[in-house]
Amino acid sequence: MAQIFPSSMNTVARVSIIGGILFLGVAGAAAMAFYRSPFVTRVGMAREQNVPFSHRHHVAGLGIDCRYCHTSVEDNAFAGIPPTETCMTCHSQVWTEAPMLQPVRDSWDTLQPLEWTRVNDLPDFVFFNHSIHVNKGIGCVTCHGQVDQMPLMSKGQTLHMQWCLQCHKAPENFIRPKEEVFNMNWRPTPEQLALGADEGLTMGEKLVKDYNINKQQLTNCSVCHR
């Protein structure tokens, strides 16, 4: 019986198989890069709001504490969105005619709350509790980024599961003293890292012990998926 395909087709077949594998690898890498890109994650991309609220002006410029507006962050799962009354506490006295604040004045006059576009929005299948993280020494800046330097609010982190697990697997690398949770500029110093050395622990390891953090439980699926 005569040979149907020439012997050179063996080479073509090998090249096709290798090329197909390489193509799938490159395509997978490109898809992963796209999935992690700011275009998808929106990290660093300011969202349009009814009122161009500047955290840099209010936090870094005026020294307003996070909890003045986000009143429930220490006690509830949701950090809280400030009501118009909170805005008008100041803006009934200052910038009373500013055009950009007209939506705030309209909200105050009509008793209709302002509608804000969420910047950090987790999927419905993810459970997140602000109060647990705050009371276990996780700083605002860890998840939300350097908010005090943002003229307009944008995401500071991807909030992907892999990113969250970095902290859940090694909380000692991220937690801080409770009095520093709302300090946007706090960084551990060599002296602070030496705290607890008498117990043979770094500061982070000592805080994990003091906060009664169960590291094994933190990687249990039910902690975030309920």
The string of pLDDT tens digits covering residues 193-209 is: 777 666 778 889 999 99
Do 173 and 125 lie in a common domain?
yes
What is the span of the domain harbouring residue 70?
Answer: 55-81+118-224
- Bridge-partner residues for 43, per DSSP? 155
Residue 200 lies in a domain: yes
Do 95 and 24 lie in a common domain?
no
Domain count, the chain: 3
Do 59 and 37 lie in a common domain?
no
Task: Please report the pLDDT score of residue 104 as a whole number.
Answer: 97
Residue 152 lies in a domain: yes
Do 123 and 216 lie in a common domain?
yes
Take residue 134 and report the two structure tokens written for it: 């705050």
Question: Rounded CA gap, 153 and 118, in Å?
Answer: 10
Task: Please report the pLDDT score of residue 200 as a whole number.
Answer: 78
Do 77 and 172 lie in a common domain?
yes
Each of the 226 residues of the chain gets a pLDDT tens digit; together they read 566 767 766 777 777 888 888 878 888 888 877 777 788 888 999 999 999 999 999 999 999 999 999 999 999 999 999 999 999 999 999 999 999 999 999 999 999 999 999 999 999 999 999 999 999 999 999 999 999 999 999 999 999 999 999 999 999 999 999 999 999 999 887 777 777 666 778 889 999 999 999 999 999 999 999 8
Do 213 and 183 lie in a common domain?
yes
Residue 4 lies in a domain: no
What is the DSSP code (8-state) at residue 36?
T
Task: Please report the pLDDT score of residue 8 as a whole number.
Answer: 67
Residue 3 lies in a domain: no
Do 219 and 209 lie in a common domain?
yes
Residue 161 lies in a domain: yes
Do 109 and 138 lie in a common domain?
no
Do 93 and 197 lie in a common domain?
no
Residue 50 lies in a domain: no
